Amino acid sequence: MKASLGIFFLGILISCTAWCQSTEGILGLKDYYKDYFPIGVAVNNRTLSGDESRLLLREFNSITPENAMKMDALHPREDVYFWRDADSMVNFAQNHHLKIRGHNLCWHEQVPDWMFKDETGNLVTKEVLLKRLKDHITTVVSRYQGKIYAWDVLNEVIGDADDEFIRNSLWYQICGEEYIAKAFEYAHAADPQALLFYNDYNSERPVKRDKIYRLLKKLIAKHVPIHGIGLQAHWSVFEPSEKELREAIELYSSLGLQIHFTELDMSIYPWEKNKRPKKVGESEVLTPDLEQKQIDQYGKIFSIFREYKKNITSVTFWNVSDRYTWLDYYPVPGRKNYPLLFDQQLQRKKAYQAVINFR
Ligand code: GLA
């Protein structure tokens, strides 16, 4: 009797150890960062099935539709909304208890032509454009009210040239600066609980950072409903520096805004904006040197993120793995890039270890 009891308890002990080990084996980024912030990823239709969706569910607890909620995708004609893809992403997230960041409500790219034109092809008036913007934002935000907890309301409003404050887009040409505050007001009226973000890239580079700061400060002074700043974080192994990143986090936080890193990836090439063809002989190899730089840079930025966990309330990667990344096409079509934490076989890269190696 004693012997069989002993064997019984030994059996339980062995099963427990095996269970613990296998649980350890399936911890993902979201688990390692559970005391810090949600870890998200941008998704497209492919990400929601097969091996990519298994990886997604193991590693991440938040999603952002990569393209499905942009204006041209959702609202191709004035009287037509296309909901299928966006709805399936929202359903997927709800079924799996993932958070959803909505992206985005107003941008100068991926916006349908009809938005700015009347039936004769001329530019519409400010009144008409603001009415269209209001209709769009109200319809989209209301549809997902209570499901999408945070929206990128305005994307990339600040100009790239050092002396350009607000980007000279059609939104700006037709409405002046006013459309910025209006977009936030429309979104807030449609879902008063949703957190509203201003989202931009190169937001740690000092000149652009200061212009973004100036805009945010103005919005806050006018009591515009804005809750956070989205730093896109399309970075490279060469930037940002530790100093730039810290200064940006501290400056934006000083406005009382929460910080989301919304589109994180780390190119192995220096940052470029303008599309160009691949140069003859241009290297596309992830050399040991670049790989090491990427490991170090990922390790460094995540250790800074952890330090500022009071201010940072979400970190989202832009795509799942190096199998598919928008950076394979942009800004140099056909040039392979390796910006993420999972390789083309969906295996964890060494940079992944640098990110979780703090416990
Ligand atoms: C910007 C946009 C994103 C996406 C990326 C490229 O950062 O905010 O929606 O289009 O460019 O994928």
Say which residue the tokens 């390790």 belong to. 299
Kindly indicate the confidence band of residue 2, based on its pLDDT and cuts at 50, 70 and 90: low
In a domain, 11, yes or no: no
Domain that holds residue 177: 28-269+284-356
What's the gap in Å between 217 CA and the centre of ligand 1?
24
Would the CB of 59 count as within 6 Å of ligand 1? no
34 lies in some domain: yes
When divided into structural domains, the chain yields a total of 1
* Distance separating alpha carbons of residues 131 and 344, to the nearest angstrom: 45
Given this model, what pLDDT does residue 23 score? 38
The per-residue pLDDT of the chain, averaged, comes to: 94
Q: pLDDT tens for residues 238-280?
A: 999 999 999 999 999 999 999 999 999 999 999 999 999 999 9
Is residue 164 part of the annotated active site? The answer reads no
Is residue 10 situated within a structural domain?
no
Query: pLDDT band for position 15 (50/70/90)?
Result: very low
Confidence of residue 19 (pLDDT cuts 50, 70, 90): very low
320: helix, strand or coil: coil
Reported confidence tier of residue 21, pLDDT bands at 50, 70, 90: very low
Query: Rounded CA gap, 256 and 153, in Å?
Result: 18
| Size of the chain in residues | 359
Q: pTM to 2 decimals?
A: 0.92
In a domain, 105, yes or no: yes
Tell me what pLDDT residue 359 has: 73
Residue 12 within a domain: no
Please pick, among 250, 263, 282, 307, the residue that the annotation labels catalytic. 263
Whole-number Å distance between alpha carbons of 120 and 106: 24
Ligand 1 centroid, distance to 96 Cα (angstroms): 25
Position 17 in a domain: no
Contacts of 136 (CB under 8 A, 6+ apart): 71, 74, 75, 105
CATH number of the domain within which 104 lies = 3.20.20.80
Whether residue 5 lies inside any domain: the answer is no
Pick the catalytic residue from 59, 66, 156, 204.
Answer: 156
Distance between CA atoms of residues 275 and 344, nearest Å = 24
CB-ligand 1 contact for 155 (6 Å cutoff): yes
b/e code 125-149 from CB counts within 10 Å (16+ = b): eeeebbebbbebbeebbebbeeebb
- The 10s digit of each residue's pLDDT in 73-107 is 999 999 999 999 999 999 999 999 999 999 999 99
pLDDT top residue among 222 and 16: 222
Active site annotation includes 156 = yes
Which mutation among 89, 234, 263 tests ligand 1's pocket best, with the greatest number of atoms within 8 A of CB? Answer: 263
Question: Looking at residue 25, what is its pLDDT?
Answer: 54
For the cut 90, the answer to whether the pLDDT of residue 16 exceeds it is no
User: Is any atom of ligand 1 closer than 6 Å to the C-beta of 267?
Assistant: no
Strand partners, 111: none
Residue 135 has pLDDT above 70, yes or no: yes
> Could you report the per-residue pLDDT of 35-66, keeping only the tens digit for each?
999 999 999 999 999 999 999 999 999 999 99
State if residue 263 touches ligand 1 by the CB under 6 angstroms criterion.
Answer: yes
Measured in angstroms, how far is the CA atom of residue 313 from the centroid of ligand 1?
Answer: 20
Query: For position 4, what pLDDT does the model report?
Result: 55
Nearest protein CA to atom 12 of ligand 1, as residue: 326
What is the identity of the amino acid at 136? H
pLDDT tens digit sequence for 166-224? 999 999 999 999 999 999 999 999 999 999 999 999 999 999 999 999 999 999 999 99
212 phi, psi to nearest 5 deg: -60, -45
Residue 159 in domain: yes
Rounded distance, CA 137 to CA 328, Å?
31
3-state secondary structure 1-63: CHHHHHHHHHHHHHHHHHHHHHHHHCCCHHHHCCCCCCEEEEECHHHHCHHHHHHHHHHCCEE
294 lines ligand 1 (CB under 6 A): no
